[in-house]
């Protein structure tokens, strides 16, 4: 069973803030850091305007949450055989896990992936 899961591939469609998309294939064992490094090293031809200086500032957002670097695709229990959509943004630091408390909710009534810049 583990060997079968290891061989499985995960299809990701990454979306930039600009709306441009690109599909990639990864292993369930790949972490968010591995994905950022791979995308940086294989930057798609149509994404020149959005290029970044380092893979360390690329962040993945899945279901409205930033993925921390050590989170693997396998840990997310993504549905096999389907393409999973994630947002890819350039951001120096991640918000603290508890940073979306009541105090922050009072500051804004809007919530959107595009406001994360």
Within-domain flag for 71: yes
Within-domain flag for 103: no
Within-domain flag for 104: no
Within-domain flag for 95: no
Instruction: Write down the pTM of the prediction.
Output: 0.74
State residue 19's pLDDT score: 96
The total number of structural domains in the chain stands at 1
Within-domain flag for 98: no
Structural domain for 26, as ranges: 10-90
Reported as a single tens digit per residue, the pLDDT across 43-101 is: 999 999 999 999 999 999 999 999 999 999 999 998 878 999 999 999 887 777 664 44
Within-domain flag for 36: yes
Both tokens assigned to 69: 């670097």
DSSP of 81-110? TSEEEEEEEE-SSPPPTT-SSHHHHHH-S-
Host H or E run for residue 76: none
Reported as a single tens digit per residue, the pLDDT across 22-38 is: 999 999 999 999 999 99
In this structure, what CATH number is given to the domain that contains residue 52?
3.10.20.90
Q: Among 50, 71, 53, which residue's Cα sits nearest to residue 62?
A: 71
Q: What's the half-sphere exposure (Cβ side, CA atoms, 13 Å) at 1? A: 0
């Amino acid at each position: 069973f583990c060997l079968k899961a290891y061989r499985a591939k995960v299809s990701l469609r990454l979306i930039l803030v600009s709306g441009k998309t690109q599909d990639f294939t990864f292993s369930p064992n790949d972490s968010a850091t591995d994905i950022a490094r791979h995308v940086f090293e294989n930057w798609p031809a149509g994404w020149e305007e959005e290029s970044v200086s380092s893979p360390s500032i690329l962040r993945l957002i899945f279901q409205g949450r930033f993925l921390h670097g050590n989170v693997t695709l396998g840990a997310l229990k993504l549905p096999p055989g389907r393409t999973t959509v994630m947002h890819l943004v350039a951001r120096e630091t991640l918000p603290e896990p508890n940073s979306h408390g009541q105090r922050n909710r009072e500051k804004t009534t809007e919530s959107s992936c595009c406001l994360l810049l």
